[in-house]
Structure formats: C-alpha cells, structure tokens
Structure 1
Amino acid sequence: MSFSSLDTALPTGADAREHALLLRRVHEAALAGRPAPAPLRPVIEDSWGRTRRFGIDPDNAPPPRMARLDELQRHREASPIAEVLPLIRRSLVSVADEADHVMLVTDASGQILWRDGPRRLRAVGDRVGLVEGAFWNEGSAGTNAIGTALVVGRPVQVYSAEHFVRTLHPLTCACAPIHDPRDGRLLGAVDVTGPMSTVHPSTLALVNAVAQLAEAHLQSIHHTHLERLRSVAAPLLAGMNERALVVDDAGWTATAVHMEPVRRVLLPKHRETGTAWLPALGECALEPLPGGWLVRPRPMERSAPSKVTLDLVRSSPTVVVSGPSGEWAHRLTPRHAELLLLLAVHREGRTGAQLSRDVFGANGHVVTVRAELSRVRRHLGGIIESRPYRFSEEVRVRVSGPGHPEDLLPGSMAPGVHALREALRGGVVPWL
C-alpha cells in the first residue's frame, strides 16, 4: 500500500489546528442532530455508526474493559506477534520517543498486549486507559485507530474529534493491522498515539511499513520452520512408495512424495494418530512427527462434506466444514470471505465475469477471481464447483450473519457486498 493510497486524517494543505476546530464543530453538530459544517471521512462516519449502536456515551463513556494480569500473560504467550515484537520495537520505539508518541501492540480483539514510550506519554495513556490489558476495540472504546483499523482491516489514522468519545479529542493515533502472511488471518495491530499537536500524515505510512515488515518476518519464520520439518521427515519419506505429505501442526505442507502437494491441509480440531477424513484429500492416515504430522491419503473415493457454515459474526470470518469425521474450521482472508458470501447468496452460481463485477465493480479482474477461487478450492476440496462457480448441490450452506447491515464484512468495499448490506437495510436477509 503506497503512501498516497493511505487514508490519512489531515486533508492536503490543511492547518492541523484549524482542522481540529472544524472536527469539534462536526462532532457537536452530529451529537445534537444538526447539519454538520463538513462531512466526515467515510471510515470515521461508518465507525461512529457502529459506536452509536454499541450504546457508548461520548461524554460519560466507561473506561475500556480490562483483562486480569494472568489473562494478559496468556494472551501475550499465545500471540504470534510475540515472535516479531523485538523487530517492531527496534523499528518504532525510538521514532515514537522522538515524536512524543507511545507505541502499542494489540491482539486481534483490540487488547493492548505491549506498550512502550516516554514516561510522560505513558502517564497520558494511563489517564484515558491506554494501558496493557485494556481492550480498545470499538465496542469498548468507540472510534479510535486501533478499534477501527481492526474492523476495516487496513491502516487508519484518527485525529482529535474524529474520536467519538470526547476525552480522546486531545489525541491523535495511527494504527495498522498485522495479518498472518500465510492466510491473511488478522493477528493484531501496531499503533502509535500522541498529543493532537503531533499529528502528521507520514505517521500512518511509518506504522504501516512496520506492520508490513513484521508480516515479512513472520513469513520468514514460517519458512524456516517448514525447512526444519522437511529435514526431519526426509529419511522417513525416502523409503516410501505410497502417496504422503508432511505438514506442520497448523496443516501447512512442508513436503510431499508421489503426489501433487496441497498448500495447506485442514486438520481436524481434535486430532490423534489414526484415520480422519480431510476436505482436500479424503480419508487419510495421520501419524505425529516432531513439529508436525505425516499424512497418507488412502486410495479410495473421497467423501464429500455435508454442511458448510460461513460465520461472519466473529472478528475474523471463518468457514466451518462438517464432514464424515468431524468439523474443520478455516479462517478466511477478506477476499475469500467476500467470494464465499456471494456464492452462498447466489446458489445458482456466478461466472468469473459476474464475480469480477461483484467484487471489483468491473469485468477486468476475472483472472484474479479465478486465482482466488482456485486457492479456496485447494483448501476446501469437494465444496466449490466451477462453470459457473457455486457451492456443490450436495452441501448444505448456512450463513451466520451480523445483526446490523453495516457489520456485514465492514472492511469490504465490494459492490456485491454493498448490495447485500442494502438488502439487509430493506429487511431482506439475502442468504435465507
């Protein structure tokens, strides 16, 4: 994402102090139900709408919800971002210190896991609840860079009275989400927050660059782990005459013999030595290895899954597949969530050109649509058919959608998703 494409808070050429005064008049007018002197940025307007539905009082908002110390420690240990925290600190803390900012790293729920910065700025954070263990999602703190970036899945800068809660008006913050480079799953975010006088468009670009650097380092760690697993499995696979592949504990393929490797295998939630039906491969024998599993597909016809649930209520959209041997959950990238939702609504199927218009608003992205659906089909064998693209007739499809139209894939700008939101506003549930 280039600097010019980032949605910064200050309009080009605007005086920061004058813009802050304008935003306060907009805030007051919006709360009083009067016409505003200027429009809000769409990302802020949408966030204010969500914040109102959460029932947050801009003048008497309670402090953000806090986790217990033992819970905070468990969440830190479980976060993949912990592996790249030293890199984030080296890249950002010194810059944040010089710019009078505090650096914050959160998990996908918006809980602040780590905080660094000058003592004076940490004291400012203490007064508004920007502390380790606090939840800064929109449902807890209203419109803010952390919560809003986690909802829309892209970098966000929030300045002064763009914050819904008045006590946050003296602040400016810039936040970029961190995604799992393997599958696009949201892992958390990195944020810098400081006094409103320190606002600068380049802050958002800096935070976004650090988030991208963290994702690249996570990818490198993943490749190193798979290479180690390949070395462990090499002697075992050397003498095999049957199809087999070696995957890590999350199902990512390290190596394969006598078969075309799949990028990832959806392993059952509760797995043990024995046999299991896997969506992409059918009936398989599973054997544990140090750091992974040996998977041997059996030479028999694959069984198809019987039910698919597209869960859009969670913070990370998830598809749950029910098969003969149990359930498999797969977190979706934003693009894959859009495509599966559109196919769930249009059970008769959609051509590549139709999906190109649904997702991009034009016919010129058919190749991209085909590539993305090819990835989906590799993960979820037996579920998606082609010509046209559609869910298999043998599969029961259920969509678990949000209660409000604006919460339907809120980060999506796809025309097809926008049309579904409009249908929901009109009282029509398009997937029923």
Structure 2
Amino acid sequence: MSPHLLASVRAAALAGEVPPEAPRAVIGASWARALGHGVDPDVGRHAKLLAAEEIEHRRRGSALGEVMPVLAEGLVSVADAAWHIMVVSDAEGRLLWRDGAPAVRRSADRLGFAEGASWSEEAVGTNAIGTALVTRRPLQVHSAEHFVRTHHGWTCAAAPLHDPRDGRLLGVVDVSGPASTVHPATLSLVSAVARVAEGELRSRHWAAVERLRSLAVPLLAGIGGQALVVDRNGWTAAAAGVAPAERVALPASAAAGPAWLPALGTCVLEPLPGGWLIRLGAGDRAPEATRVVVDVSGRAGWSVTVSGPAGGWSHQLSPRHAELLFVLAVHREGRSAAELAGDLFGDPSRTVTVRAEMSRLRRTLAGVLAHRPYRFAEEVEVELVRPRRALDLLPHSVAPAVLARRIPES
C-alpha cells in the first residue's frame, strides 16, 4: 500500500469512516486501542524522559544487558549502513539503549525517540515497539501505519525478547529509520537476531543449572526422604526419592519455610546459592484448593492465584496458558480437546497441541484442573478478572474464543 493510500486509510479509520482499503488487522486493532487511550493522533502523548540514573538502574536490572553485544553485533552495522538506528526497550516500552547513524539519531531526538522515552501504545499509539509489546509478535510498521502523524516519515521493525527461564517478556529490539529506506528483509533480520539473543540467554541459564547440579547431587545424597533442588525459576537440577519434573512452579515471591505448591503439596523451602532445596512432606498433601483467580486484566502479564486452607500461591501465565485458562473460566462446564483446539486455533483437529499444553498446566495446577472434559474442579470457586475494556482482552491473542469476546466499545 502506497504512503498516500495509507494516509487516506488512517484518516478515514480515525474519523470513524469506511477507509478506501482495510488496514492490516494488527494495525487496525492498534489504532482502535490508541483511540481508546486518548492518544493525540497529531503529536502523541510523550511521557517525561527517565533520568539518567533511572535508565542506568533499569539497564543493570535487565537480563537484556547480558545480550546487548549479541544484538549490537547483529544489527548496528546493518542499521548504520541503511541509515537506521537500533533501539532496545524494556517491557514497559521505555527506551534503554540506542545506537546507529548519528544523523538518524538526531532526527529521532526531534521525535522524542531517545533513551528514557516511553514508546508504548499508551504514549504514542501504533508503532513497532509498543505494538510488538502488546501482540508479543515481530512487527514492521511503515509510514502512515503509525498512529501519530509526525511519525509517518519513519519505518520501524521490532521483535519481542523473552526470558527463556520463565517466559517473561523482557522488552523489544527495534530497527528504525526513514520510510524511504525501508527494506522488506529488515523484519526477518531483526527477528532472527532476537532469537539468537534469546538462545544466548538460554545457554547461560542451562550453564547455571549445571553449576547448581554439581552442588545439589552431593547435598541430596545425604538427605533422607523426598527432596528436589531447583533454580530460582523452578528448573530442576536434581531430585531424590521423587520423579523429577522438568520444572516446579514456584510462588511468585518464594520464601524460606513451609510452603504449599499445588503440584507437590506441603513442603519446606530452604535457600541455596542460585536456587532452592525443596523438602517434600512424608506423603502428605495440602488440603484441596477452594478458590482460583484467573487474572487477564493486565497487558504486562497474566496470572493465576490458587488459595485454600493451606494458604495461597500465585503464578505468572504464558500467553498460551492465559488463553486456555480464560476459555475454561468462561466455560465452567468444561471443553473437550477438540473444542479447545477450535477455541484457540479455529481448527478442532489440533488436539495434540492442546493436550500437550493442558498436560503442562495440570502439572502446575494439580487438584485444580480436571479432564474428560478439561475443566476447573467442581468444588473450586473460580473468579475471572477481565480488563476494563473488552478491546484490551489478551491483546496478543488471535484465538477465535478471545476475538469473539474482544468487542470494541461503542
């Protein structure tokens, strides 16, 4: 679509008129969100820049700092040659690193595209960084696809970056520059480099698990009863007297002392360098859960909280598991594997994928989820917390069951 036609499509869509051609679905949905956020389509809503001290604090606290050499090696020289810049944001859309052609950096400064700026959809509407944070998918935004008019001279290609240890969204890597220099391969390159960076984080993670295993094996040899050693994210390094699960879902704020984990029952957590020793009870399991809260209200993440006589426990959900628990919370009577495949993929034949994901969920939520059909246990009270606007329901999702309930407000 030419820049002139794109501009006409945007103008009509923002005016509530029928555009001469439909925008891409991901762009149209983002425009609708930006309108709902009250973003000014002419100049945006630029938030105050972070102070230099806060930028440095966020850099030090982010795992992205570990892979900046990988990102820079893969993208900065290419960006320089194409008169583009490479930008890396955190999960809130705050720009933490920027490198590339000096002339383009000066042009970016005039747009507020500087370190410390917020490039979330709430601040500047549709753009590759903010929209990739929402959709959790690589995205290129060209010219008038940007919500804010002053950004129409730019093209941006961005890919989200996830922490392989827990699936948490870390931020986005982006290559941006003049729209006249757009290259169709830019998005593929950015996506590939993002995967390489995630692979580097994954290698570092498994190296840390191996180091923990060297400590865990002799420790467990001297312990009677059932026990596991896991890293801080629950990945199992070693086990004694119990079949080792690949990963144990730990509470969001694990602490030393007695704990209740749905998959293991009552246990005791003891801190170790780089992880936890989990001592299991002698066959005892905690009383059954009585209440589950599925929270899909926030763009930054989704969670499930389980509580009962033994206490409470909370766990962050992956995008796919958030979709599954949302569907099951809506359909308390339960869903077959074929029905869930239709709900998630629009294809009832994709039952193998559904069963694999439900198996993982049931290991985490033992005693809470039943099967044949898949459902929440009848004795459990379920609360579903949705976003204030239906339009903001799991915005990353293209599952038919979610799209059917994501009805734009009038």
TM-score norm. by structure 2 comes to 0.95
1:111 is aligned to 2:114: no
Q: Give the Cα separation in 2 of the matches to 1:329 and 1:167.
A: 43
Matched, 1:319 2:310: no
**Using a 3 Å threshold, how does the CA distance of structure 1 residues 153 and 272 change in structure 2: closer, same or farther?**
closer
Give the stretch that moved more between structures: 174-183 or 341-350. Answer: 174-183
Q: Which amino acid aligns with 1:146?
A: I
* CA distances 1:320-379 after superposition (whole Å, capped 9, x unpaired): 223445433322111111110000011111111111111111221111101001111112
Matches of 2:305 and 2:49 in 1, distance apart?
30
Which contiguous aligned blocks of 4+ residues in structure 1 show a shift greater than 6 angstroms?
none
2:231–2:274 contact (8 Å) kept in structure 1: yes
For residue 377 of structure 1, what is the aligned residue in structure 2? 362
Pick aligned residue for 1:172 from 155, 173, 179: 155
1: CA distance between counterparts of 2:205 and 2:285? 33
**Structure 2 residue 321 is the aligned partner of structure 1 residue 310:** no
Q: Match for 1:281: what amino acid?
A: L
1:275 offset after TM fit, Å? 1.6
- Kept in 2, the 8 Å contact 1:27–1:162? The answer is yes
Match in the other structure for 1:72 = 55
CA distance in 1, matches of 2:204, 2:24: 38
Structure 1 CA distance for aligned equivalents of residues 355 and 323 of structure 2:
14
Greater displacement, 321-330 / 236-245: 321-330
Instruction: Give 1:226's aligned residue.
Output: 209
SS of 2:71's partner is helix
Q: How many residues end up aligned between the 2 structures?
A: 408
Pick closer, same or farther for the CA change 1:36–1:273 going to 2, 3 Å: closer
Describe how 1:18-37 pairs up with structure 2 within 5 A.
19-37=2-20
Counterpart of 1:274? 257
Q: RMSD of the alignment, in Å?
A: 1.8
Residues in 2 aligned to 1:37 and 1:409: alpha-carbon distance in whole angstroms? 29
Aligned to 2:250, what secondary structure does the other structure show? coil
- Contact 1:274 1:285 (C-alpha < 8 Å) held by counterparts: yes
Matched, 1:287 2:307: no
* Aligned: 1:348 with 2:345: no
Q: Which residue of 2 aligns with 1:96?
A: 79
Mean alpha-carbon deviation: is it higher for 24-33 or for 402-411? 24-33
Q: Paired residue for 1:386, among 362, 365, 371?
A: 371
- Cα deviation, residue 221, structure 1: 1.0
Letter of the 1:413 counterpart: V
> Paired residue for 2:171?
188
Which deviates more, 202-211 or 253-262?
Answer: 253-262
Structure 2 counterpart of 1:6: none
Give the share of equivalent positions with the same residue, in percent: 54
Q: Which amino acid aligns with 2:129?
A: I
Amino acid at match of 1:51: A
Give the deviation of 1:269 after TM superposition.
4.4
Q: How does 1:54-73 map to 2 (within 5 A)?
A: 54-73=37-56
Q: Does 1:211 align with 2:194?
A: yes
Shift of 1:283: 0.7
1:396 aligned residue: 381
Q: Distance in 2 between matches of 1:293 and 1:119?
A: 47
Tell which deviates more after alignment, 58-67 or 192-201: 58-67
Question: 2-side partners of 1:346 and 1:133: how far apart?
Answer: 43
SS state at 2:23 partner: coil
Task: State the distance in 1 between where 2:211 and 2:255 align.
Answer: 22
Mapped partners of 1:311, 1:239: distance in 2: 42
Greater CA deviation, 32-41 or 184-193? 32-41
Among 225, 236, 251, the residue aligned to 2:234: 251
Q: For 1:44 and 1:269, how far apart are their aligned partners in 2?
A: 34
CA contact (8 A) 2:216 2:237 kept: no
SS in structure 2 of the partner of residue 210 of structure 1: helix
Counterpart-to-counterpart distance in 2, 1:344 and 1:370: 17
- Tell which deviates more after alignment, 378-387 or 180-189: 180-189
Residue deviations 1:29-58, cap 9 Å, x none? 334444322221111110000000111111
Opposite residue 227 of structure 1, the aligned amino acid is E
2 CA distance for matches of 1:163 and 1:425? 22
Query: CA offsets, 1:140-175, max 9 Å, x none?
Result: 111100011111110111111111111101100000
**3-state DSSP class of the match of 1:39?**
coil
Unaligned runs of 5+ in 1: 1-10, 12-18, 427-432
Between 283-292 and 59-68, report the one with greater CA deviation. 59-68
For structure 2, the 5+ residue unaligned runs are none
| Cα distance change, pair 132–326 in 1 and its aligned pair in 2 (3 A) | farther
Partner of 1:399, secondary structure, is strand
Q: Which residue of 2 aligns with 1:47?
A: 30
Q: Equivalent residue of 2:406, what SS?
A: helix
Aligned partner of residue 321 in structure 2, secondary structure: helix
Mapped partners of 1:362, 1:271: distance in 2: 39
Of residues 334, 341, 356, the one that matches 2:319 is 334
1:157 aligns with 2:140: yes
Using the TM superposition, give the Cα deviation of residue 410 of structure 1 relative to its aligned residue in structure 2, in angstroms: 1.3
Map Cα deviations across residues 410-431 of structure 1 (whole Å, 9 max, x no partner).
Answer: 1211111122224x869xxxxx
Other-structure match for 1:405: 390
Give 1:109 shift.
1.1
Name the aligned partner's letter for residue 73 of structure 1. E
